Amino acid sequence: MTITKLKLNLGPQHPSTHGVLRLILELDGEKILSCEPDVGYLHRGMEKMAEQMTYIQYLPTVDRIDYLAGCFYSELLCRIVEQALEVELSDKVRVIRVMLLELNRIASHLLWTGSFLMDLGATSPFFYTFREREMILRYFEKLTGQRMMYNYFVFGGVRKDIDCLDDVQEIIDILPEKIDDYEKIITDNPIFLKRTEGKGILDKETALNYAITGVNLRASGVDLDFRNIDYLYKGFDFRTIVLEEKDSWARYKARIMEMRESCNIIHQALEYLKMTPALEQRLINPLNLKLPAGDYFAQIEAPRGLAGCFVCSDGSDKPYRLKWRTGSYYSVNLLRKLLVGEYLNDAIAIAGSLDFILPEVDK
Amino acid sequence: MNYLYFLYIEFLTKHHIPKLFGDITFYFIPFCIIAAALIIAVLVLVLAERKLLGFFTQRKGPNRVGVWGVLQTVADAFKLLCKENITPTHADRFLFNLAPIILFIPVMTVLGIIPYSSEFTFVNTSTNVILYLILAAFPVLSIFLAGWASNNKYSLLGAMRSISQVLSYELPIAFVILSVAVLSSSLNLTGITLAQFSKWGLAGWFIFPCILGFIIMFICILAELNRCPFDLPEAESELICGYNTEYSGMRFALFYLGEYAMMFANSMFMAILFLGGYLSPFGKYLFNSSFLIYFEQAFWLFLKAGFIIFIMIWIRATLPRLAAFDLLKFSWSVLLPLSIVNLFVAVILKMGGIV
């Protein structure tokens, strides 16, 4: 008997590819024989664009690299400039940045929880997680005037002093209860367990070979969290979530636990911010800002894995070359290996569990 | 039905119209009534589902068109009628157009065999349970044709899933229906309804001796209707829209209509088998006049069906989708043995003279 292969183009316009990913699948019935991710449908030339812009011109655009966690990328660019000019951040600026980064991380994970369940066919959790994400976005809107592209971090500090701390207090008071609610409806649901337990197993070696970072790696049992060596997070007490299950369920659980941990960090930041006097900061003058010639690299633990920024400067006011390292890019590459041998509906769930978004892949 | 026929002929003779005319036209009336009732029922059902899903997810649901959004589905239906019918280039034109029509025939007929009240069954045969069993499985033919003729890989996969699903969920339904037939010693829906009559109202319902059968039947009907958590054939996140991906305009509306009408018919059927059909849950009717009782009976039937539909919507708001493999395994290894157990229980109860 000969196997007739069915070639299926999943995407670029498809409800569950989280943007414009195109997967070229070869199917035998519903079983996937091979998978070839095809990226680049959302390429905006973020890296080439940097070469024609001064640093302050480029800063507002970097939020668009990951529209769900924009803070992390503006933090990276600020960090490059601060590193190059050897500027020390004051403690208050540091804590403000940590608080906003963690809020943004929670918002991103909340959206993922909803969309992952949507991939599995449950529509309601999407609305529940969006309800809580809305609170966080409202706070950002109050603070920065923007819901997703904040442009709040500037070279050497933040754009203005933090306010509306009561809103943040309310968010972290409510959120753990709401996460309990999600867990009640999702975590012990037998259908959910059947769809995720033992599905899409990503072992340690494969994960490391494919340069997977972030939650996906920690759910495979590798203890690697770049927040532990990050100078921003110095003095914060938090736990690194490491799970040994290696499957889709572990990746889900790790994100849920990480949200709780982020609440914990925000709580500590809030205590500090409530005590400290108004912000005094010495910003770097962005006009005529030139980085000394040389190579700079900065990294941070973003919601979708390690985010890195490499800048090669020739001493002018524009970068000579700029390169972004994003977690999603490597997760998409992993599909090539992880989806082979799975059935189509499991494949969608596995791809969803990796939490990639396409603007981050295509840049 | 004889009563209605009598009334109709009497009405005609009063206006000097020959009886032959009445004999011929009498059988068209039910179709007109069903078609009109079906469209209204579906419009209400879709609105109810959207409203309820809205409440489950802490939204308002449709609330712009008309008071409280009541005209939303009417507007949607009107929009679908106005849309262009697109046929894909390499589709099999004949089968592509045939599929929605084929879906509609069993749907109309199923609604015709249901006893809405003691005098109001359009087609009352002595074995209309068997007829129902055949008609309920019929839409899968249309789904298969739609999937095959669309020349779309997603449609084909959806059709493939649908067939395997219906094939494996038909069998438990047959066993459950058999156990109800044993309990009531009848294959006629009116007979089954009357067998559930008792002085204490709901005490006579077959849901009590056959609770296992009720649950099995409910699960199977969810699967047959392609509803969550068995909505694999039209899994949005996997197959876009499954078998009806390529359909648009009126043809899509027919699929939509058929799907919801089938949901309505199936829940009424479940109400008849297990919840006493048109019988009042209090043992006696609230009205005394024989004419009003017919309406009261229909009201009880719709109320019971509405309750089942509510549970279906509730489940849709709660559960994720099953995987295709688990779905088949669940039917063959869990539901089928349990339905046979249920049949044995029914036989023992009947022989012991308990029911």
Handedness of CA B321, A38, A353, A340 (dihedral sign): positive
- Does residue A212 sit within a domain? yes
Helix (H) or strand (E) holding B272: helix B249-274
CA atoms within 13 A on the CB side of A284: 24
A151: domain CATH number? Answer: 1.10.645.10
B333 at A interface, C-beta within 8 A = no
Positive or negative: CA dihedral B248, B253, B254, B260: positive
Does a structural domain hold residue A155? yes
Residues 6+ apart with CB under 8 A from A268: A236, A237
Closest CA to B169 of B331, B325, B53, B347: B331
A348 neighbourhood in chain B, CB within 8 Å? 237-238
Residue-wise DSSP of B90-105: TS-HHHHHHHHHHHHH
Residues of A in contact with B153 (CB under 8 A): 6, 8
Categorise residue A141: left if φ over 0, alpha if ψ from -120 to 50, beta otherwise. alpha
- What phi, psi does B244 have (nearest 5°)? -100, 25
- Per-residue pLDDT tens for B177-206? 989 888 888 888 888 888 888 777 777 888
Binning pLDDT at 50, 70 and 90, where does residue B102 land? confident
Across the interface, whether the CB atoms of A122 and B318 are under 8 A apart is answered yes
Residue B317: pLDDT above 60? yes
Q: What are the strands of the beta sheet with A319-325, ordered from one edge?
A: A294-302, A305-313, A319-325
User: Can you give the three-state secondary structure of chain A, one letter per residue?
Assistant: CCCCCEEEEECCCCCCCCCCCEEEEEEECCEEEEEEEECCCCCCCHHHHHCCCCHHHHHHHHHHHCCCCHHHHHHHHHHHHHHHHCCCCCHHHHHHHHHHHHHHHHHHHHHHHHHHHHHCCCCHHHHHHHHHHHHHHHHHHHHHCCCCCCCCEECCEECCCCCCHHHHHHHHHHHHHHHHHHHHHCCCCHHHHHHHCCCCCCCHHHHHHCCCCCHHHHCCCCCCCHHHHCCCCCCCCCCCCCCCCCCHHHHHHHHHHHHHHHHHHHHHHHHHHHHCCCCCCCCCCCCCCCCCCEEEEEEEEECCEEEEEEEEECCCCCEEEEEEECHHHHHHHHHHHHCCCCEHHHHHHHHHHCCCCHHHHHC
Q: What band does B144 get if pLDDT is binned at 50, 70 and 90?
A: confident
Closest CA to A349 of B221, B308, B324, B38: B324
Sort out which chain A residues have CB atoms less than 8 A from B322's CB and list them: 191, 194-195
How far apart (Å, rounded) are the C-alpha atoms in residues B138 and B4? 30
Residue B156: partners with Cβ closer than 8 Å, 6 or more residues away:
B147, B148, B150
pLDDT exceeds 70 at position B243: yes
Query: How far, in Å, CA of B52 to CA of B56, rounded?
Result: 6
How many Å lie between the alpha carbon of B264 and the closest alpha carbon of chain A? Answer: 22
Looking at the structure of chain A, the number of domains it has is: 1
- Closest residue, chain B, to A29 (C-alpha): B157
Identity at B202, one-letter amino acid code: L
Is-contact A341 A335, C-beta < 8 A?
A: no
A192 contacts on B by Cβ (under 8 Å) = 320
Q: Answer yes or no: is pLDDT of B2 > 70.
A: no
Question: What is the pLDDT, as a whole number, of residue A311?
Answer: 92
Q: What is the ipTM of this complex?
A: 0.80
Q: What is the pLDDT of residue A1?
A: 56
Contact A194 B153 (CB under 8 A): no
Chain A residues touching B55 at Cβ < 8 A: none
The pLDDT averaged over each successive group of 10 residues in chain A (363 residues) is 77 77 86 88 89 89 88 90 87 89 92 89 87 91 88 87 86 90 85 87 90 90 88 87 89 91 90 83 83 90 90 90 90 89 86 87 86
Residue A1 lies in a domain: no
Residue among B50, B156, B237 with most chain A CBs within 10 A, to mutate = B237
Chain B residue with Cα closest to A16 = B237
A348–B238 CB contact, under 8 Å = yes
> Contact B213/B179 with Cβ under 8 angstroms?
yes
pLDDT value of residue A2? 64
Contact predicate B335/B240, CB 8 Å = no
pLDDT, tens digit (0-9, with 9 covering 90-100), for B329-355: 888 899 899 999 999 888 888 888 776
Pair A168, A139: CB distance under 8 Å: yes
Test B236 with A15 for CB contact under 8 angstroms: yes
Flag if B323 and A189 touch (Cβ within 8 Å). Answer: no
Residue A38's domain comprises 6-362
| Closest Cα in chain B to A18 | B237
The size of the A-B interface in CB pairs under 8 A is: 79
Mean pLDDT of B57-74: 85
Of B153, B320, B325, the CB nearest to A121: B320
Percent of chain B's residues with pLDDT above 70: 98
Residue B240 clears pLDDT 80, i.e. is over it: no
Q: Cβ A124–B235 below 8 Å, yes or no?
A: no
Tell me the shortest Cα–Cα distance from B315 to chain A, in angstroms. Answer: 10
Q: Which residues of B touch A10 (CB under 8 A)?
A: none
Q: Which residues of B touch A346 (CB under 8 A)?
A: 323
Instruction: Write out residues 130-159 of B within 8 Å (CB-CB) of A.
Output: 153, 157
pLDDT attached to residue A3:
64
**Which residue in chain A is spatially nearest to B229 when comparing CA positions?**
A121
Q: Following DSSP, what letter does each residue of B297-340 receive, concatenated?
A: HHHHHHHHHHHHHHHHHHHHHH--PPPHHHHHHHIIIIIHHHHH
CA A139/CA A224 separation, integer angstroms: 30
Contact B179, B206 (CB under 8 A): no
At a CB cut-off of 8 Å and minimum separation 6, what does A355 contact? Answer: A112, A116, A215, A216, A251, A255, A303, A304, A328, A331
Of B160, B235, B316, the CB nearest to A345: B235
- Contact list in B for residue A189 (CB cut-off 8 A) is 319-320
**Residue with tokens 């919840």, as numbered in its chain:** B275
Cβ–Cβ contact B228 with A under 8 A: yes
Inform me whether the C-beta atom of residue B322 falls under 8 Å from chain A C-beta atoms: yes
Mean pLDDT of chain B: 84
- The answer, for B319 touching chain A at a CB cutoff of 8 Å, is yes
